[in-house]
Chains A and B, each alone.
Chain A
């Protein structure tokens, strides 16, 4: 590394993972003018979308650059102290609801008093973070899409960025699909996949660095193209979720009132509510679809609903497993059904949608991580690396993005100081720390829980069974009271008589198996 490079580190993507890497590099003593962070959005943040809730206080570590982020960052909306989870069927809504004094962070509680969960709007938050990066002296460039990575000894004009991810002209269908890259000369592909990365190419221009950090987010073209993820050429709908949401304006006062929120003062941010639901709203829609499109008969959309209060708005949306989407159902119509379920409709009444959007979310789990997190001169962080914890009830990615960025920043600074930024050196630092971090420990420990929560039963008969049972147990219609257990049995009997799928799914063994899996939660 005798040759001088334009920068020490170039970071592609100014989301939480990229920003965190940049700030950590500063903390490790790398000069701001040796760090370049680029983002294809202009302004920065304008390409980003989340549900979303930020968990944990990872941002505290950057207090010297961010100050009182909790109060000052425009996209950090409300501190969540009120959490609801539950089941939603077309008629019934059943919630478990908690209001936790210790989540207010005002002290005087048995549990550690700390705010650690915020509703977030990323377009605003990312723009603010970018400002803070600039203030700290980091080079920030907005509106810059990176076409290619610069590889030592390789003429970037010898291939096109689309060559790496496009289907081949003579591609077959389904499993026989072929890719353009398979038709490129072998030596070229070998260099693209395993050469030393030493910068970026944009509009034919090269900028060099000792290390390139890929922080492109969940739909990362570079991670696919440069073979961090060996599977991204294959269709990966098995491990991808699509979020579809609206931001609905209700006004601050209405939100404070409707959701019983603390309004906020000079010292404490306003409080808010976060709700996540398993949905079984789609039975009749699915049956209609199956009739028209029998190819995917029996496939039931596995959907979660989310509802978060922001300062002036609420984020209302669904997240659907792409592999569970049957033909005949549009994802945006799945959202509409959620929005019109009476319990949700009541919450957004009088509101006006001000933004609509969709975003992918990886749900890789340990079985489907990128086959490598580093290459000679490069590494991958955050969503681009699939570092998302998703167990069907909860999706956490932003805290993981921030954390992986810190680990990357520390590792890169050390490797640069040691004069060795090879994949081996980056693995010995970054990958190693990543694999012993809470991110991987969480993924490992909760893998069985993920299996349980993704069980189709939870998106079909379970919410209905629970909802109907609760409905009858809590209701008084002038008839003799029946113990809950008996009601449950009666509802189960009726539901099993109703259709074949229920009869099969709700058999004793099926239910027992589900219960046994549920212990691992």
Chain B
């Protein structure tokens, strides 16, 4: 097992992890995060991609030519707002009662 640590072969199964959380997803018109993905094309670092613990941002790391963002899996941590310095992320909390529902916390 320690051998794989050295080789850096780790991938967390995010989709499985997210499947363990409860969500009450709001409609698209009320998405709490809005990303102007055209601004992402010139971004040199994609720090939102690396920071987001919920893989809501998919881009060149996944072999994509364009940034693909989805708010549905968001855990509402706020990391992307902090990491983005391209002026692309509009961040607010979801409407009351919507979004993630932790049962353990």
Contact = CB atoms under 8 A, between A and B. Distances in A.
Contact of A329 (B50, B55, B89, B103): B50
- Contact-size category for B: 35 or more
Contacts, number: 206
A284 interface: yes
Nearest to A283: B6
A295 B53 contact: no
A330 interface: yes
Contact of A360 (B7, B16, B78): B78
Interface in A190-218: 202, 218
B64 interface: no
Contact of B12 (A49, A288, A336): A336
Contacts of B76: 47, 219
Interface string A22-56: 00000000000000000011110111111000000
A341 interface: yes
B21 A355 contact: yes
Interface stretch (A237-245, A427-435, A473-481, A488-496): A237-245
Contacts of A144: 96
A330 B55 contact: yes
A131 interface: no
A46 B10 contact: no
A242 B77 contact: yes
A284 B17 CA distance: 25
Interface stretch (A116-124, A149-157, A510-518): A116-124
Interface string B32-70: 000000000011111101111111000001000000000
B77 A219 contact: yes
A337 B10 contact: yes
A337 B1 CA distance: 10
10 contacts: A43-B101, A45-B105, A46-B22, A161-B92, A219-B76, A221-B93, A331-B53, A337-B8, A356-B17, A360-B82
Given A90-B5, A221-B91, 12 more contacts: A47-B101, A126-B105, A166-B91, A173-B85, A178-B87, A219-B78, A329-B50, A331-B53, A332-B12, A337-B5, A342-B2, A358-B54
Interface of B: 1-2, 4-8, 10-12, 14, 16-18, 20-22, 42-47, 49-55, 61, 75-79, 81-97, 99-105
